[in-house]
Amino acid sequence: GEDVEQSLFLSVREGDSSVINCTYTDSSSTYLYWYKQEPGAGLQLLTYIFSNMDMKQDQRLTVLLNKKDKHLSLRIADTQTGDSAIYFCAEKGSNAGKSTFGDGTTLTVKP
Amino acid sequence: DTGVSQDPRHKITKRGQNVTFRCDPISEHNRLYWYRQTLGQGPEFLTYFQNEAQLEKSRLLSDRFSAERPKGSFSTLEIQRTEQGDSAMYLCASSQGVGGHNEQFFGPGTRLTVL
> What would the pLDDT profile of B37-78 be if each residue is shown by its tens digit?
999 999 999 999 999 999 999 988 889 999 999 988 999 999
Query: What DSSP string describes A8-63?
Result: SEEEEETTS-EEEEEEE--TTEEEEEEEEE-TTS-EEEEEEEETT-SEEEETTEEE
What is the average pLDDT across A79-101?
91
Mean pLDDT of chain A: 92
Window 20-49 of B, Cβ < 8 Å to A: 31, 33, 40-45, 48
**Whole-number pLDDT of residue A1:** 59
- Please, which residues have CB within 8 angstroms of residue A72's CB and are 6 or more apart in sequence? A21, A22, A23, A24, A32, A34, A49, A63, A64, A65, A66, A89
Q: Which of B29, B58, B106 to mutate to test the interface with A (most CBs of A within 10 A)?
A: B106
Question: Residue A98: pLDDT band by 50, 70, 90 thresholds?
Answer: confident
Chain B residue with Cα closest to A49: B101
Residue A19 has pLDDT above 90, yes or no: yes
**Whole-number pLDDT of residue B99:** 66
A41 and B108 within 8 Å at the Cβ level: the answer is yes
**Whole-number pLDDT of residue B61:** 86
**Whole-number pLDDT of residue B49:** 95
Q: Does B108 touch chain A (CB under 8 A)?
A: yes
Mean pLDDT of chain B: 94
Percentage of chain A beyond pLDDT 70 is: 99
Pick the range with the lowest mean pLDDT from A2-11, A31-40, A88-97, B11-20.
A88-97
A42 and B91 within 8 Å at the Cβ level: the answer is yes
Q: Which of A98, A100, A105 to mutate to test the interface with B (most CBs of B within 10 A)?
A: A98
Instruction: Tell me, letter by letter, the H, E, C secondary structure of A21-35.
Output: EEEECCCCEEEEEEE
Question: Residue A40: pLDDT band by 50, 70, 90 thresholds?
Answer: confident
**Whole-number pLDDT of residue B101:** 75
